[in-house]
């Protein structure tokens, strides 16, 4: 791989790390936030609902934005803005101000989430092999680090406000620096030989055998991107780029995108249930000390990190359908352990099991979405928006169900979601396009994928 690709991959991973650090810092200090403002679980749910609404509103508008400006520009502005709005949450003096601040934080972060996944998809296609689970492992590193730092802050009695402001001040300049060196969306051809380097934005790089690719290049076989004329290639690519960007915003998404969005909905809701409510569950229901309760989230993220580090290999060996089905059923079993125990140690261990089982689902859904349309941004925006709808509904549903019954019973919703994810995996494509970095060949947008992504009964 070229240095350009290596830099792009490392910065994409570090962007996931930074995003996880910012979100994780906010999440792990939710009990301290509730104590600072003297608000109830239902009020915390309202604030988290505002965060989810803000993210969802932004993500719903990102299909057009991503098609016009791409992930690089969005990350260059959105990531530092997320850090600034995190500081705004830290200074919120009352519930109304907190709701407004979390809404702004959600709006900024929603843009970052779509853009960093689109950038990850572009890098993944450039490398020619699954990488998205590894990208999301970076998120786990950041979120887990936030949990450990939050536990240290609690031990040192660092106030909630100071904790969030410190993270925001460090994150803003780092986020801007990371945005330099990203790849343009849909241009994974930076690693191709010199004669093929001028592939336009919107061109999809697909696998082909060396023999087939050689014949295509030597015979030129009517493929505009195989022309020996660099000028012709550039002009044709530019036309394809413009057409694909206009089409990606106007055309109806494939059915696969909506199925992937439904799977992401369930996975995000489970992840959100742990992220937003594990601290209060361990503290108020199980009776764990605050320092132990704060460990629930980093332990969960540690489980997710392990699973995502091996997730790409598991996907290659087991296949997408089997991996998602097993992950869904495993999530249901793990959450059953969490909500039926009265031991803090068992509950925290159960959080690790939930992390291990749920971790691979959303990265795979976003990875597949990135290949369902000519450019990854619009499809990822749609899938991500549906996923964040789960993150949006999760806090408010669990909050109000726990208010009407118990938090233990409310968290049982995650068990049902795990089973539904396993069922949904049955309708995913039976095969996925194989990616081989050594045999990538550029093809124009009108050329169909070797193994089209279609729903099967």
Domain of 309, CATH number, reads 1.20.1250.20
Task: State which residues of the chain have pLDDT below 70.
Answer: 1, 186-251, 431-457
Alpha-carbon separation of residue 150 from 22, 155, 234, 323, 348 (angstroms): 11, 9, 51, 33, 16
Nearest to 241 by CA among 285, 320, 185, 295: 185
**Euclidean distance between CA atoms 150 and 144, whole angstroms:** 10
74 in a domain, yes or no? Answer: yes
Does some domain include residue 333? yes
Please check whether residue 102 lies inside any domain of the structure.
Answer: yes
Query: How confident is the model at residue 448, as a pLDDT?
Result: 37
Residues in the chain: 457
* Residue 411 structural domain: 3-180+253-428
- With respect to residue 351, please indicate whether it lies within any of the assigned structural domains: yes
Q: What is the pLDDT of residue 164?
A: 93
Question: Has residue 295 been placed in a domain?
Answer: yes
What does the alpha-carbon distance between residue 228 and residue 140 come to, in Å, rounded to a whole number?
45
Domains contained in the chain, number = 1
Answer whether residue 219 is part of any domain: no
Closest CA to 62 of 105, 107, 8, 121: 107
Q: Tell me how far apart the alpha carbons of residues 56 and 272 are, in angstroms, rounded to a whole number.
A: 14
Rounded Cα distance, 108 and 85, in Å? 8
Identify the H or E element spanning 16.
helix 3-28
Write down the pLDDT at residue 77. Answer: 92
Domain-located, residue 98: yes
Q: Is residue 376 in some structural domain?
A: yes
CA angle 296, 265, 356 (to 5 degrees): 35
């Amino acid at each position: 791989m070229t240095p350009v690709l290596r830099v792009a991959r490392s910065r994409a991973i570090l962007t996931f790390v930074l995003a996880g650090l910012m979100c994780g810092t906010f999440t792990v200090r939710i009990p301290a936030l509730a104590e600072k403002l003297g608000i109830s679980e239902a009020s915390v749910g309202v604030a988290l609902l505002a965060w989810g609404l803000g993210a969802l509103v932004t993500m719903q508008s990102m299909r057009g934005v991503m098609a016009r400006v791409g992930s690089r520009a969005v990350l260059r502005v959105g990531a530092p803005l997320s850090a600034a709005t995190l500081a705004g949450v830290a200074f919120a003096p009352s519930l109304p101000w907190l709701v407004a601040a979390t809404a702004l934080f959600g709006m900024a972060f929603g843009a970052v989430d779509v853009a960093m996944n689109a950038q990850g998809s572009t890098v993944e296609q450039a490398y020619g092999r699954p990488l998205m689970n590894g990208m999301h492992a970076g998120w786990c590193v950041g979120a887990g680090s936030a949990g450990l730092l939050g536990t240290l802050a609690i031990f040192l009695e660092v106030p909630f406000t100071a904790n969030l402001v410190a993270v925001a001040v460090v994150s803003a300049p780092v986020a801007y620096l990371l945005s330099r060196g990203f790849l343009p969306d849909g241009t994974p051809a930076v690693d191709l030989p010199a004669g093929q380097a001028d592939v336009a934005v919107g061109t999809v790089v697909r696998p082909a055998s060396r023999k087939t690719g050689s014949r295509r290049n030597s015979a030129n076989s009517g493929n505009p991107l195989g022309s020996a004329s660099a000028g012709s290639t550039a002009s044709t690519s530019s036309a394809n780029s413009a057409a694909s960007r206009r089409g990606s915003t106007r055309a109806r998404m494939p059915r696969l995108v909506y199925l992937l969005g439904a799977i992401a909905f369930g996975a995000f809701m489970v992840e959100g249930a742990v992220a937003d409510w594990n601290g209060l569950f361990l503290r108020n229901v199980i009776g764990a000390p605050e320092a132990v309760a704060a460990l629930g989230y980093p332990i969960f993220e540690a489980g997710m990190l392990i699973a995502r580090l091996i997730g790409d290999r598991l996907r290659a060996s087991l296949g997408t359908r089997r991996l998602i089905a097993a992950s869904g059923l495993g999530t249901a079993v793990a959450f059953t352990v969490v909500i039926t125990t009265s031991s803090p140690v068992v509950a925290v261990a159960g959080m690790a099991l939930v992390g291990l089982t749920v971790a691979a689902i959303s990265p795979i859904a976003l990875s597949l979405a990135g290949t369902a349309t000519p450019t990854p941004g619009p499809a990822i925006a749609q899938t991500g928006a549906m996923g964040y709808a789960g993150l949006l509904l999760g806090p408010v549903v669990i909050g109000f169900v726990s208010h009407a019954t118990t938090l233990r019973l409310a968290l049982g919703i995650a068990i049902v979601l795990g089973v539904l994810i396993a069922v949904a995996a049955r309708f995913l494509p039976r095969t996925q396009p194989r990616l081989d970095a050594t045999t990538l060949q550029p093809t124009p947008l009108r050329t169909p994928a070797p193994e089209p992504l279609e729903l099967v009964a």
